[in-house]
């Protein structure tokens, strides 16, 4: 990678390519190959170009389109093959830190969270912001759709995770405790949506019962901030990445 900090990476749905980006303001797509002799750097394709750092990227349902969010306050949809900008999304007043695509196959919406404390829901085809939620008290570091696609959770530097229902158009739950004062860097749901896992800057992972609003358990193990968290596609485990240079898998 040409730049020092990589802040975002994503697998293509087919598993044949990886997109990544960071302080270089670009999102580059690398085709993957099992051939050790192949010079992958030569095959790199620069797809997105922002005017500030790339905070998150995600392929849409196909390998051909990629959605990016940036420190310049915008999100954008790009065509991978031509590198052309297909749609841009303006509405955040500050850096956009995270995004997540709606789970359904026919879904055309995605949600983004930013440093302006707002979470916006966008229509990918029109570029319009459909809904907006502003109840967090600080930067929103992570957003994740509920498995059914009707709700989403967000994690913020205000040490809370919140659940918003899209059809009711409001916040429906807050997951917080007075003893938790460090920000949430990353959230993800278990397969059924009953559990919400949050990675916190106090090196722990808190597991919340989504429906009851209570904490189910707290997990220790990392020696520094948990910066990212993802549940595996089959739901049997989740993985956390941390500033302590390790990735841990919890099952």
Asked if 132 is part of the footprint of another protein (rule: CB under 8 A), the reply reads yes
User: 190 or 228, CB closer to another protein?
Assistant: 190
Least distance in angstroms from the C-beta of 196 to another protein:
11
CA atoms in the 13 A half-sphere facing the CB of 224: 8
Residues β-bridged to residue 79:
65
51/246 Cα distance (integer angstroms): 31
| Binding-site member from 115, 124, 140, 153 for another protein (CB under 8 A) | 115
Q: Within 53-72, which residues bind another protein (CB under 8 A)?
A: none
DSSP string, 21-49: EETTSEEEEEE--S-TTS-GGGG-EEEEE
Neighbours of 120 (CB within 10 A): 23
Asked if 104 is part of the footprint of another protein (rule: CB under 8 A), the reply reads no
Asked if 174 is part of the footprint of another protein (rule: CB under 8 A), the reply reads no
| Strand pairing report for 26-31 and 17-22 | antiparallel
Asked if 134 is part of the footprint of another protein (rule: CB under 8 A), the reply reads no
204/3 Cα distance (integer angstroms): 30
Asked if 119 is part of the footprint of another protein (rule: CB under 8 A), the reply reads no
Asked if 103 is part of the footprint of another protein (rule: CB under 8 A), the reply reads no
| Strand pairing report for 247-250 and 45-49 | unpaired
Asked if 137 is part of the footprint of another protein (rule: CB under 8 A), the reply reads no
User: 115 or 159, CB closer to another protein?
Assistant: 115
Least distance in angstroms from the C-beta of 169 to another protein:
5
Residues touching another protein: how many (CB under 8 A)?
Answer: 38
Asked if 51 is part of the footprint of another protein (rule: CB under 8 A), the reply reads no
> What's the token pair of residue 45?
């394709």
Asked if 177 is part of the footprint of another protein (rule: CB under 8 A), the reply reads no
| Binding-site member from 116, 122, 142, 185 for another protein (CB under 8 A) | 116
Neighbours of 95 (CB within 10 A): 18
The one segment of 38-46, 140-148, 198-206, 219-227 that binds another protein by CB under 8 A: 140-148
> What's the token pair of residue 201?
């800057």
Asked if 165 is part of the footprint of another protein (rule: CB under 8 A), the reply reads yes
The one segment of 57-65, 77-85, 86-94, 97-105 that binds another protein by CB under 8 A: 86-94
- Name which of 139, 157, 57 is nearest 92 in CA terms: 139
Alpha-carbon dihedral sign for residues 7, 166, 108, 234: positive
Asked if 135 is part of the footprint of another protein (rule: CB under 8 A), the reply reads no
Count of helix runs (H) and strand runs (E) in the chain: 0, 23
Residue numbers at the binding site for another protein (CB under 8 A): 73, 91, 93-95, 115-116, 128-132, 146-148, 150-151, 165, 167-170, 172, 190-195, 210-211, 231, 234-238, 251
């Amino acid at each position: 990678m040409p730049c020092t900090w990589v802040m975002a990476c994503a697998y293509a749905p087919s598993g044949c390519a990886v997109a990544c980006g960071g302080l270089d303001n670009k999102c580059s797509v690398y085709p993957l190959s099992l051939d050790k002799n192949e010079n992958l750097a030569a095959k790199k394709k620069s797809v997105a170009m922002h005017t500030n750092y790339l905070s998150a990227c995600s392929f849409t349902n196909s390998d051909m389109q990629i959605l990016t969010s940036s420190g310049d306050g915008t999100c954008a949809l790009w065509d991978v093959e031509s590198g052309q900008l297909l749609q841009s999304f303006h509405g955040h007043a500050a850096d956009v830190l995270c995004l997540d695509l709606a789970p359904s196959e026919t879904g055309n919406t995605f949600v983004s969270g930013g440093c302006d404390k707002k979470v916006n829901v966008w229509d990918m085809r029109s570029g319009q912001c459909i809904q907006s939620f502003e109840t967090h008290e600080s930067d929103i570091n992570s957003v994740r759709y509920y498995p059914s696609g009707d709700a989403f959770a967000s994690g913020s530097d205000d040490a809370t995770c919140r659940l918003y229902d899209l059809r009711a158009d409001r916040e429906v739950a807050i997951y917080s405790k007075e003893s938790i004062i460090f920000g949430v860097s990353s959230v993800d749901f278990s397969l059924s949506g009953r559990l919400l896992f949050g990675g916190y800057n106090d090196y722990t992972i808190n597991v919340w019962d989504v429906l009851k609003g209570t904490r189910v358990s707290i997990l220790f193990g990392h020696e520094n901030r948990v910066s990212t968290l993802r549940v595996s596609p089959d739901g049997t485990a989740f993985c956390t990445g941390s500033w302590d240079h390790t990735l841990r898998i919890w099952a």
